[in-house]
Amino acid sequence: MRIDHRAGSRELIAPLQSLGLPVESVVLPAGDVEILGNGPGGPLLVGVEVKKLPDLIACVRNGRFAEQLRAM
């Protein structure tokens, strides 16, 4: 699992590591978390965008959320 260590997602790193999960602190081009999964055709990257409710509402209203989804 790779987690973007910039503001917004860095607070996820320590709790996930304390659970024994392998976490790599990186700068991701899009999203907050990247997980490597097994898809029907082989390896598959899954992107996760972490949002607090006020930010979710604001970015849906101003169109930023659609841009973030396209980038992932």
Convert the pLDDT of each residue in 6-52 to its tens digit. Answer: 977 899 999 999 999 999 999 998 889 999 999 999 999 999 989 88
User: Tokens 């979710």 — which residue?
Assistant: 56
Residue 27 DSSP SS3: coil
Pairing of strands 24-26, 2-4: parallel
The pLDDT score that the predictor gives to residue 69 is 82
Q: How confident is the model at residue 61 (pLDDT cuts 50, 70, 90)?
A: very high
The pLDDT score that the predictor gives to residue 14 is 95
User: Which residues does 25 contact at the CB level (< 8 Å), separation at least 6?
Assistant: 2, 3, 5, 10, 13
The pLDDT score that the predictor gives to residue 68 is 83
